[in-house]
Structure 1
């Protein structure tokens, strides 16, 4: 079965990243997957991708580390021959409270390193590889509702997700002449392990009531968007960070 190309999804062991990897496999891409370790969840994901008739491989790396991201991209190319879709999905949040007094420097650095620096490095090395290949590509990042509208959400998380929007716009400008589009998704509240760890049931219910659809999202809602933005049909869309939030706010 011929492949539409090679996709790499970071932070793929669970939640949104896992849903994206499976959807891209369903779309006909061979899918390399990344996380901080080769967990049982990540290994099971590779098996599921292969059961769909697509090639897959695990590439463990800390996306905040320059040398590790560079080697990850090179390893994907060695294994699969190219890189056509980069999904910089890896991200973390933290227990910090709504007040600046609650935010430690250590927590700030940890979140910014993964969410902002990790996206920068993923964009950088994927973009350089796609330029070298000379046939265009798709780069996709993970922003958030917190990257569109400041709120009580953790200060560092909010700042990091605003940073993804700026990185996405800058990368779109630099790589556009090479036929490479760069976009990001900005989810609202999506039912993932990260969400359940960050928000109480009361807060989740409050957000649900504030949306016109009266519901939270699920990982496949984001994967469906990535499916389109990774396709040839999205060729005239770049530099955008698209809200997928059930109408929690309009932009």
Structure 2
């Protein structure tokens, strides 16, 4: 039986790297997707030195075309597509009076746009391949209870919860499941950035 294919965004470090590693250990072929291609390729080579079981792909998840192109590359490389993990995210500390329009566009573009574009691209791939699949989105403990000084981040993660619930209802009849996970404090580069600003 052919191995299933997983696609993980923000997989060049932190939680995304850990998810990609676990999926590989569980027998998946993995597309390690990150804006930083050097990090993505480093993780992919660690998982599969010959590139047969893991590849690094560059994608800006806030850019719809970039996400669709990355999914197409994964399908072209591995011949299938079964799971997307929309994990990429930004978590700046943002006291309410400090938020700028550019910061709003960036954080919502990555954290919310990345989930929407990832879900769209995965849905298209599942339909083309003629089977269902799994869409897994990163929310956060901060998307369950609003955290101080994280208005932008918490707002995006509450949005991801809502989007995920809608996807689950809209896509169930096609054999596609949609779920979200909500980590608390995890020792990652992003968490260190938040901690150092508090």
CA RMSD in angstroms, aligned pairs only: 1.9
Partner residue in 1 for 2:156:
160
Query: Do 1:28 and 1:54's aligned partners in 2 also have CA atoms closer than 8 Å?
Result: no
- Tell me by how many angstroms 1:138 deviates: 1.0
Q: Structure 2-normalised TM-score?
A: 0.93
Deviating above 4 A after TM superposition, structure 1's stretches of 4 or more consecutive aligned residues are 51-54
SS of residue matched to 1:57: strand
Pick from 195, 198, 211 the counterpart of residue 194 of structure 2: 198
C-alpha separation in 2, matches of 1:151 and 1:58 = 33
- Tell me by how many angstroms 1:74 deviates: 1.0
SS of residue matched to 1:187: coil
**Unaligned stretches of 5+ residues in structure 2:** none
Tell which structure's C-alpha radius of gyration is larger.
1
- Tell me by how many angstroms 1:139 deviates: 0.8
CA distance 1:3–1:54, shift in 2 (3 Å): farther
Pick from 62, 65, 68 the counterpart of residue 64 of structure 1: 62
Partner residue in 2 for 1:77:
75
C-alpha separation in 2, matches of 1:113 and 1:46 = 26
C-alpha separation in 1, matches of 2:14 and 2:98 = 27
Query: Do 2:12 and 2:34's aligned partners in 1 also have CA atoms closer than 8 Å?
Result: yes
Partner residue in 2 for 1:131:
127
Q: Structure 1-normalised TM-score?
A: 0.74
